[in-house]
Amino acid sequence: MPKLPALVPSATAEDFIDDAGIESTLARARNADATWVRELIAKSLEKQPLAPAETAVLLGCEDKGLQEEMFAAARKLKETVYGNRIVLFAPLYIGNRCVNDCSYCGFRSSNDEAIRRELEHEAVVKQVTALEKMGHKRLIVVFGEHPDYDAQFMADSVRSVYAAGDIRRVNVNAAPLDIAGYKLLKDAKIGTFQIFHETYHHQTYASVHKPGTRKGDYMWRLDGPSRAFEAGIDDLGIGALFGLYDWKFEVMGLVSHAAYLTRRHGVGPHTISFPRLKAAQGVNFDSKWFVSDPDFLRLVAILRLSVPYTGMICTAREPAHIRDTVLSFGISQVDAGTNLDLGGYSEQGDATVVEQKPKLDKAQFEIGDTRSLDAMVGNLVEKGYIPSFCTSCYRTGRTGEVFMEYAIPGFIQKLCTPNAITTFQEYLCDRASPAVRASGERMIAEELAKIPDANVKAMVGERLALIRDQGKRDLYV
Ligand code: SAM
Ligand code: SF4
């Protein structure tokens, strides 16, 4: 097995996850009185993040009526902070070689059945061309952890994506790097760097990640986002893989991580992800920690209430009906038209209509929502959401602390809604099926009419005309 170079740990790394402390906070917070739960809901509606001990109170509430109040509050909060837009993206798997042996993953080194490969420049261009044909503008590139996929390789892959055409934002999901590695990615102009801690519970972490592997080093991973901050990347995504341990503990881990990053770097994570374990080649699950649908919905609502300004991503791992449900009370980003097979986008034929099932010998896990991008866009419109392909914030430098400054006074809606509408118009002109174009144009007319500020409304109206009548593209504020 090829070896990774030695680690350069950060001198400031801190283990802020106290397992026993989290367990006892959760136990103390069980079935708190209704007044307290309502006070916390009210605090969240004031757009104040909850402390982990306060999140524990929401997690410990088993009263169905109060849970309904949490769902209603999460809906309201989502509407006030994010409006009715949903950002769309697609994952692009670049390489599935991996030196780690995570027991839950189809790419683990001991999976001899997996077909291993990586996409070099030409192959990346081919995938990106297929993704652009669908209408995507925002991708997340994904890598296994392998000496062949060092930071330079990742940076080159990101550059290949940008060079291939009109993808406007490239995020990365990969194993954490050292500071020098992150700097290479920053130079390649990545958007968000995403690292999921998988499980915050130390003992479980040790049992699913083989000792002696890079991934087996809990602290190296936990400190990964902080090293990225130190390297100047202030747009970070965190996440946990639900189904390895108690879901309430993992929610506590995520909010503790968000609180830690805010304390240490002055900015919380840009996004939180909460994938549930899916079937993968040769993987046997312990059903003990399986997260049921009702619990999954609760965890999404509680996360929404706990971190009002953090974007929340629900991927195509979840089936369509679950994704459609959580859209209303927490989620700000979804992927669509997803194909996890390496090289799968260019092999799938007419990407606007075909629904894909990944082949498990080439994909990391099974997906639950196989709708094409066009089908997802049509579905969002039908449910009253504006599909957004906006990439403006990071291109205008609204990231990290600056992003928070914009988000807190509610400016996001003034910037995001116009950008959502104009990027959606581009999609309708260039890529939509006739039915989606018709319903989308109706939505745009309604959304334009709803813009309260006369100047903003006039500006958006002018831009829509430029896009429709003069073929102008990429107009953003
Ligand atoms: N190799 C990098 C790493 O481990 O950070 C990239 C991660 S992997 C390609 C992306 C994420 O997929 C992992 O962090 C994990 O949370 C998730 N994942 C792995 N196996 C999964 C499974 N069977 N079901 C659902 N998600 C899974
Ligand atoms: Fe490798 Fe990441 Fe899969 Fe673990 S989760 S086996 S590190 S690709």
User: Nearest-CA neighbor of 460 among 442, 440, 444, 443?
Assistant: 444
Nearest CA, atom 13, ligand 1: 196
Contact indicator for 328, 312 with CB cutoff of 8 Å: no
CA-195 nearest atom, ligand 1: 5
Our answer on whether the CB atom of 318 is closer than 6 Å to any ligand 1 atom is: no
Our answer on whether the CB atom of 104 is closer than 6 Å to any ligand 1 atom is: yes
The whole-number pLDDT of residue 356 equals 47
- Tens digits of residue pLDDT in 62-110: 999 999 999 999 999 998 888 899 999 999 999 999 999 999 999 999 9
Our answer on whether the CB atom of 177 is closer than 6 Å to any ligand 2 atom is: no
Looking at CATH, the fold of the domain delimited by 83-244+271-282+309-388 is given as: TIM Barrel (3.20.20)
The whole-number pLDDT of residue 81 equals 83
Tell me how far apart the alpha carbons of residues 197 and 93 are, in angstroms, rounded to a whole number. Answer: 19
Our answer on whether the CB atom of 100 is closer than 6 Å to any ligand 2 atom is: yes
C-alpha distance across the termini of the chain, in Å = 49
What's the whole-model pTM score?
A: 0.95
Residues near 277 by beta carbon (within 8 Å), at least 6 away in sequence? 104, 241, 242, 243, 244, 285, 290, 365
364 CA → ligand 1 middle, Å: 7
- Tens digits of residue pLDDT in 350-398: 444 334 455 656 567 788 999 999 999 999 999 999 999 988 777 877 7
Ligand sitting nearest the alpha carbon of 282: 1
Question: Mean pLDDT score of the chain, rounded to an integer?
Answer: 92
Nearest CA, atom 16, ligand 1: 241
| Ligand 2 pocket, mutate which of 214, 215, 220, 244 (most atoms under 8 A from CB) | 215
The whole-number pLDDT of residue 397 equals 76
Tell me how far apart the alpha carbons of residues 423 and 417 are, in angstroms, rounded to a whole number. Answer: 10
Our answer on whether the CB atom of 97 is closer than 6 Å to any ligand 2 atom is: no
Separation in Å, CA 314 to CA 234, 239, 368? 22, 11, 11
The whole-number pLDDT of residue 7 equals 74
The conformational region for residue 141 under phi > 0 = left, psi -120 to 50 = alpha, else beta, is beta
The whole-number pLDDT of residue 4 equals 81
Q: Is residue 235 exposed (0-12), middle (13-18) or buried (19+ Cβ within 10 Å)?
A: buried
**What does the domain layout of the chain look like in residue ranges?**
83-244+271-282+309-388, 411-470
The whole-number pLDDT of residue 123 equals 94
The whole-number pLDDT of residue 361 equals 60
| Ligand 2 pocket, mutate which of 102, 177, 205 (most atoms under 8 A from CB) | 102
Nearest CA, atom 2, ligand 2: 144
63 CA → ligand 2 middle, Å: 38
The whole-number pLDDT of residue 468 equals 96
Tell me how far apart the alpha carbons of residues 92 and 413 are, in angstroms, rounded to a whole number. Answer: 29
Longest C-alpha distance within the chain, in Å? 63
Our answer on whether the CB atom of 215 is closer than 6 Å to any ligand 2 atom is: yes
- Which residues in the chain come in under a pLDDT of 70? 1, 348-363, 400-413
Tell me how far apart the alpha carbons of residues 98 and 92 are, in angstroms, rounded to a whole number. Answer: 16
